[in-house]
Chain A
C-alpha cells in the first residue's frame, strides 16, 4: 500500500481521486492467532500496532464488536495533556504525550495533533494552592507546567470571563503548553492502517461472547464469527471490561458510567486553547471545523446505555455560559455519551490477571484518549513479554490488594 505524501495526493488528484486504495483489509478470522486483542478502539489498535512494530508479532488479530473507533474513541473531547499529580501518573501520561508528538510521522497518517496548550482554572484559594502543588509536582517529574495569572489568561483566551464579580471568580490557572487536542477518528484510522500494513487482522462486527479457559489458562475466545484460538488475549474494552472479565470468571474494580459531551454549531475561531475547570465542571476547546467541543460530567449511576441524563449537561452548560459569556446564544448541534470504566483511584489498570495469558487494559475512565499511544505501547510490551513495563508496573490489579493506589481524582478533571 502506498505511502501518503504530497506526491500521492497530486497523483490521485489528477485521477480525480478514483484510485485511492482501501485503507485496511477486511479479513475473515483465521482459526488461531499468536495473540488476540479484544476491542478495536484507539487503545486496542495502538496495542496491535506496537505489538507488530516493536515486538515482531504479526500473527495477531483485533476483534471489534462494532466498527473501529466507534466507541469512546469517537466520543471523547480529544484533549491531550500529562499534568497529573503523582510521579507514576506523570510518567505514564507523559510517555503518551511524547509519542503524540511524532505520531503523524510514525503512522504516515495526519492525526492533527495540535499542542495549543491546556489551561486548568482555579476559582478559589484552596484550588489555587492545590493547582500550584500540582505544578511543582509536575516540574519535579519533568512535565512542563506553569502558573498563569488572570492578566495572562486574558491574552491566552480572550473570551474567558475574568470579571472578579463572578460567582466563582477566576484567580489564575495552570498551563501545560505541550498539551492540546488531536483528531480522535484519525487516531483510530491511523493506527488501524499502520497495524494492517504490518499484517494485523482487524476484524469488525466480531463480538466476543465467551472465553475458553482450561486449567487457569486462556486458550481462545468465542465470537459471533466462531471460536478463535490464541494463547494470549488482551482485553481493551473500556466500559465493557467488566462484561468481558465476567466471561473469565473475574471481577474488576470498575463501574461503567455514561460520560457526556456536546458540540455547538460551527463558528469562526474564537478559542485558541483548551480551558478546563474542575470547580464549575466544564471544559471546552474548538475543533478545526469551528465547533466548540464541550465536555460534561458522568452520570452518578451505572449505565451501559450510550446516552446521559439532562441534568448533567444542564449543569455543564450553566458553567460554560458563565465562563464564556460569548457562547450564551450558540446552538448546540449534537450531544452524546460514551461508557467509561471508572476506577476507584481514577487511574488505569494495565495488568495480568489470575487467568494465565489473559491481560486487561482498562480503567482509563474519563481520560483515556490522551493516553492512547502510551497505553498501546505499554500494553503491547506487557502482552509480548508477559510482564509489565516499568512505567505501567504501578498500574497492576495488585494495587487494590496491596493498597498502593495512585489517586488522581484531582487531576482527572471529570469529577467522579
Chain B
C-alpha cells in the first residue's frame, strides 16, 4: 500500500488518490498534420516501464489537484513528486 505525499495536503493513503497513467504525453500541437499512425501512437501506445515510471496522480478524495510522481513499478518506491509541466526529475535507476 502506498503512502503518497500530496504537494498540497501532505502524506495520505493511496485510497485517496487515483492514478492517471503515464505522464509527459504531449497533446499534438498540429493535429491536422497527423496520420493514423501518429494518432494511434499518441492515443494508445505506452512505455509501460519496468523500473522508474513517470506518472500522473490526482488527489481525488482530497484537494482534487493533479501532480506527477516518479515511482518504481518493481518496488513501488516513490522517488520524486513534482508539478505537472515540470521536466522529468533526475532519479536513481
Contacts and interface: CB of A to CB of B under 8 A. Distances in A.
B2 A252 contact: no
B1 A251 contact: no
A302 interface: yes
Contact of A310 (B1, B19, B36, B40): B1
A237 B72 CA distance: 20
A249 interface: no
Nearest to B71: A301
Main secondary structure of the interface of B (DSSP, over half): mixed
Interface string B11-43: 000110011010000000000000011011101
Contact of B45 (A301, A309, A311, A400): A400
Contact of B73 (A251, A253, A254, A256): A256
Interface size class of A (residues with CB under 8 A): 20 to 34
B50 to A, nearest CB: 5
Contacts of B36: 401-403
B76 A305 contact: yes
A301 B15 CA distance: 12
Contact of A309 (B14, B18, B39): B14
A302 B44 contact: no
Contacts, number: 68
Given A304-B50, A304-B73, A251 B14 contact: no
Contact of A255 (B15, B21, B40, B43): B21
B55 A302 contact: yes
Contacts of B2: 301, 309
Interface size class of B (residues with CB under 8 A): 20 to 34
B90 to A, nearest CB: 21
Nearest to A307: B76
Interface in B38-77: 39-41, 43-50, 53, 55, 71, 73-76
B40 A242 contact: no
Nearest to A311: B15
A300 B46 contact: no
Nearest to B75: A305
A281 to B, nearest CB: 15
A303 interface: yes
B19 to A, nearest CB: 4
Contacts of A255: 21, 46, 48
Interface of B: 1-2, 14-15, 18-19, 21, 36-37, 39-41, 43-50, 53, 55, 71, 73-76
Interface of A: 240, 242-243, 246, 251-256, 300-305, 309-311, 344, 400-403
15 contacts: A242-B49, A243-B50, A246-B47, A251-B41, A252-B46, A253-B45, A301-B55, A302-B73, A303-B73, A309-B14, A310-B1, A311-B1, A311-B15, A400-B40, A401-B39
